[in-house]
C-alpha cells in the first residue's frame, strides 16, 4: 500500500460508485432517507481532489489527511465511520517502511475493528458492517499467504453474499431500525456501497 495506490483506488471506486448511484439511492429511499449515495459521492470526490496535496506525503500523513477530509466533508454516519477507518489505519506502526500485503491487511482489519466500535454494530444488523466484518475475518486468514490472489476472489464472493444477505434482515441499527418489519426485503444501501468498494479494490489488486 502506498499513497499512489490509495489515490488510484479512490478513483476506481469513484467510477464504480457513480455507475451504481441510482441503485444505491433507491435502496436508501426504501429504508433510509436517501442521503447515503450523496455522502459517499461527496467523500470520494473530496479524496480524489486531495491528490495534489497528498501525493508526495508519507503514507501516515496522507492517511490522516484523508481521514480529516472524510470526517469533515461527508457528515452523517458514513463520515464518522469512514473517518474512523482512515484515522485508525494512519495510526498503524511502521508505516514509514514498506507496506506489503500482510501489513495492508492488518491495517484494514484494525480500521474495520475501529468502525465496529464506533458504530456499535455487529453482523446481522443490516448495516455496512454485515459486509465489512466478514471481509475483515477473511483478510485475517489470507494475510500470511504468499499466493493471495485466489483468496481475494473469495473476499469478493463473501462481500457479495453478505451484501445480499442484508435483504431479509430486520434492521436493529441505524435509521432503518425505526422501520421494524418494513425494512425487510430491501438490501441495505451501506452494505451495497461497501461491497462495491471491496469488489473494485480486490479486482484491481488481482489484475495488477
Partner 1 sequence: MKKFINNNDDFLKESLTGFGKAHSDIINVNLDPSFVSRKNKTKDGKVSLISGGGSGHEPMHGGFVGHGMLDAACPGFVFSAPTPDQMQAAAEHVDSGAGVLFIVKNYSGDIMNFQMGAEMYSGKNDSIVTNDDVAVEDSTFTTGRRGVAATVLVEKIVGSLAEHGGSLEECKKLGEKVNKNAGTMGVAFTSCTVPAAGKPTFDIGDDEMEFGVGIHGEPGRKREKIQPSKTIAGNILEAILDNLKPEKNEKNLLFVNGMGGTPLTELYLVYEDACQILQSKGVQVTKSLVGNYCTSLEMQGASITLLKCDDEILKHWDSPVHTAAMRWGM
Binding site for partner 1 (CB under 8 A): 25, 29, 32-35, 38-39, 68, 71-81, 83-84, 118-119, 172-175, 177-180, 182
Report helix, strand and coil shares of the chain as percent, to nearest 5: 75, 0, 25
- Cβ proximity to partner 1: between 48 and 179 the closer is 179
Which ranges constitute the DSSP H helices of 74-188? 76-90, 101-119, 129-142, 149-165
In whole angstroms, the minimum distance from the beta carbon of 114 to partner 1 comes to 11
In whole angstroms, the minimum distance from the beta carbon of 71 to partner 1 comes to 6
- Cβ proximity to partner 1: between 30 and 203 the closer is 30
Phi, psi for residue 78 in degrees, rounded to 5: -60, -40
For residues 71 and 82, what is the distance between their CA atoms, to the nearest angstrom? 7
- Cβ proximity to partner 1: between 134 and 190 the closer is 190
- Cβ proximity to partner 1: between 114 and 155 the closer is 114
Using the CB atoms, write b or e for 126-153: b if 16+ within 10 Å.
Answer: bbbbbbbbbbbebbeebbeeeebeebbe
In whole angstroms, the minimum distance from the beta carbon of 133 to partner 1 comes to 17
In whole angstroms, the minimum distance from the beta carbon of 89 to partner 1 comes to 16
- Cβ proximity to partner 1: between 84 and 200 the closer is 84
In whole angstroms, the minimum distance from the beta carbon of 178 to partner 1 comes to 5
Shortest CA distance to 121 belongs to which of 66, 59, 79, 171?
171
Amino acid at each position: 500500500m502506498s499513497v499512489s495506490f490509495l489515490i488510484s483506488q479512490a478513483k476506481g471506486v469513484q467510477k464504480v460508485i457513480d455507475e451504481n448511484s441510482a441503485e444505491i439511492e433507491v435502496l436508501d429511499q426504501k429504508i433510509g432517507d436517501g442521503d447515503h449515495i450523496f455522502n459517499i459521492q461527496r467523500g470520494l470526490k473530496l479524496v480524489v481532489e486531495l491528490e495534489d496535496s497528498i501525493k508526495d506525503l508519507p503514507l501516515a500523513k496522507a492517511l490522516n489527511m484523508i481521514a480529516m477530509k472524510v470526517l469533515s466533508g461527508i457528515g452523517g454516519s458514513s463520515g464518522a465511520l469512514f473517518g474512523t477507518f482512515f484515522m485508525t489505519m494512519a495510526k498503524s506502526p511502521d508505516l514509514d517502511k514498506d507496506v506489503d500485503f500482510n501489513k495492508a491487511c492488518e491495517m484494514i482489519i484494525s480500521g474495520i475493528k475501529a468502525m465496529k466500535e464506533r458504530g456499535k454494530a455487529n453482523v446481522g444488523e443490516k448495516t455496512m458492517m454485515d459486509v465489512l466484518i466478514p471481509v475483515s475475518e477473511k483478510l485475517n486468514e489470507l494475510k500470511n499467504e504468499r499466493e493471495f490472489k485466489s483468496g481475494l476472489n473469495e473476499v469478493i464472493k463473501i462481500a457479495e453474499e453478505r451484501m445480499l444477505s442484508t435483504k431479509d434482515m430486520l434492521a436493529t441499527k441505524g435509521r432503518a431500525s425505526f422501520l421494524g418489519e418494513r425494512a425487510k426485503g430491501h438490501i441495505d444501501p451501506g452494505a451495497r456501497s461497501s461491497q462495491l468498494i471491496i469488489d473494485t479494490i480486490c479486482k484491481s489488486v488481482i489484475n495488477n
